[in-house]
Amino acid sequence: MYTSFFDVFSIGIGPSSSHTMGPMRAAARFVQLLRERSLLSRVARLHVHLYGSLALTGYGHGTLSAVAYGLMGLDAETMEKPPPISETLLLGKEQAIPFRIADDIIAEEKQSLPEHPNGLRFCASDAQGALICEQVYFSVGGGAVKSREEMHLAENDHVSPAGLWEFHSCHELMDICAREHVSIAQLTRHNEATLRSAPELSARIRLVAKVMNSAIDRGIATPGTLPGTLHMQRRAPQIYARLEDRFHRNETDALTIIDWINLWAFAVAEENASGGRVVTAPTMGSAGVLPAVLRYYERYGCKDSPYSAEKGTEILLLTASAVCSLYRANASISGAEVGCQGEVGVACSMAAAGLVAAMGGSNQQVENAAEIAMEHNLGLTCDPVCGLVQVPCIERNAIGAVKAVNAARLAMRGNGSHFVSLDSVIATMYETGRHLHPNYRETSLAGLAKNVPAC
């Protein structure tokens, strides 16, 4: 199933798309359901149950306040500054109810729902205590939410818009590109045209690039400590100061570009960890990889590219979007489902593919780059220390961004022919993720989360 550019790149407040943005959207959907059923004014109490990974790492990932914001009718994309949460909640901006997040959001730490590890159950009752509405949702990655009914919909129940060039695998994607004589970016543009107008898409591309770049600039300019029990210092401002200092002293270092890429990824990942505005690419935990590679392209890559910085940026993002669509259709971008392969691994794959396309590489080289980038992220676990999107997440974004540039360079040195197909590596990533012990899938029960004595 095709995932639109608009769904791949969501804009919102960090630190986690599956644990912050998704739950916020699920809560907003429940309020909408109450409204549609004319039940909103009858709600006197509301309880929310969190299951699986949401229950285990929700505290560190900001899930509880995100649920409250969603119930208040706030939108993840437009919310500027998180409002204070009192013990009276204005449900859907209309109905005042008593709501204490510590008591009314219940983390069911020992239970997981069968459909997906990120489950939420909303239960609304009236003044007499009778249950008037109940719904289960799942936060399936990248901020996307599905109801229990939607989880059970078969692939063939989905109706594609007329004219869409539907692809289910990279093999099919490449066949369409060859048949229509288009690049992957042009294919994405064509598909988006079946959903919305060309100016709307162009405006969205510009907005996505702008939010990514703003997150880099804010991250570089903001010193201090990250929220949470780790009391981690933000490192981007120090890295930047050191780079500037070296520049003014005329010190040369052949690997300075790596320092810059690290800096840009750190800046965004630290913004995300502080609840700043970022773009899911494909998730918030991995939101630093693509902006770092985009800035690398604008600063260094486009000098050797056939495109202007603006055109290359468009191509990079449109290509990355198509690659993400493949992962969403055939695997997962949820750390709770497949570990960090699905987050930083997919981000690395998207960024490598996008960079090759922006550098003027062929569709085959784009596939090669996406494949190399994921092949060397296979088995990457998710084990955030103290359930915070900080360790190993922030450094991992930097490593993922540098790896993406390297994968792109490897692909550009070849002619596009390669031994492992992107389809094979996506299937392997999904299989590996399903075989990972659940403790290594965003539960903070093992790995670094267990062996680093921090919490």
Query: Coil, strand or helix: which one is 108?
Result: strand
Residue 140 or 173 with smaller CB distance to ligand SF4: 140
Binding mask 238-277 for ligand SF4 (x = CB under 6 A): ----------------------------------------
Spatial distance between the Cα atoms of 338 and 334, rounded to a whole number of angstroms: 6
Tell me the closest approach of the beta carbon of residue 288 to ligand SF4, in angstroms.
9
> Is the bond into 282 cis (omega within 30 degrees of 0)?
yes
Q: Buried b vs exposed e over 372-382: b needs ≥16 C-beta within 10 Å?
A: bbbbebebbbb
Distance CA 7, CA 329 (A): 13
Query: Is 335 a binder of ligand SF4 (CB under 6 A)?
Result: yes
Count of residues that interact with ligand SF4, criterion CB under 6 A: 13
Please state the closest distance from residue 68 (CB atom) to ligand SF4, in A: 21
Q: 3-state DSSP call for residue 316? A: helix
344 touches ligand SF4 by CB under 6 A: yes
Check binding of 53 to ligand SF4 (CB under 6 A): no
CA–CA separation, 320 and 355 (whole Å): 9
Distance CA(137)–CA(146), nearest Å, equals 6
Question: Given the rule CB under 6 A, which of 92-100, 173-181, 389-397, 415-423 is the region that contacts ligand SF4?
Answer: 389-397
Alpha-carbon 339 to chain mean position:
13
Residue 401 neighbours by CB under 8 Å, 6+ apart: 261, 262, 264, 265, 288, 289, 292, 293, 296, 348, 351
Taking CB under 6 A as the rule, does residue 119 contact ligand SF4?
Answer: no
Our finding on whether 389 is near ligand SF4 (CB under 6 A) is yes
Which of 117, 361 has the CB closer to ligand SF4? Answer: 117
Cβ proximity to ligand SF4, 7 vs 395, nearer residue: 395
Nearest-angstrom CA–CA distance, 189 and 4 = 10
Which residue stretch of 2-10, 63-71, 271-279, 386-394 sits at the interface with ligand SF4 (rule: CB under 6 A)? 386-394
Q: Closest CB to ligand SF4 among 364 and 381?
A: 381
Q: Which of 343, 371, 375, 423 binds ligand SF4 (CB under 6 A)?
A: 343
Return the number of the residue (30 or 138) whose C-beta is nearest ligand SF4.
138
Q: ∠ at Cα 157 (154, 162), nearest 5°?
A: 140
Minimum distance of ligand SF4 from residue 340's CB (angstroms): 3
Which residues of this protein are in contact with ligand SF4, per CB under 6 A?
285-286, 335, 340, 343-344, 382, 384, 389, 392-393, 396, 442
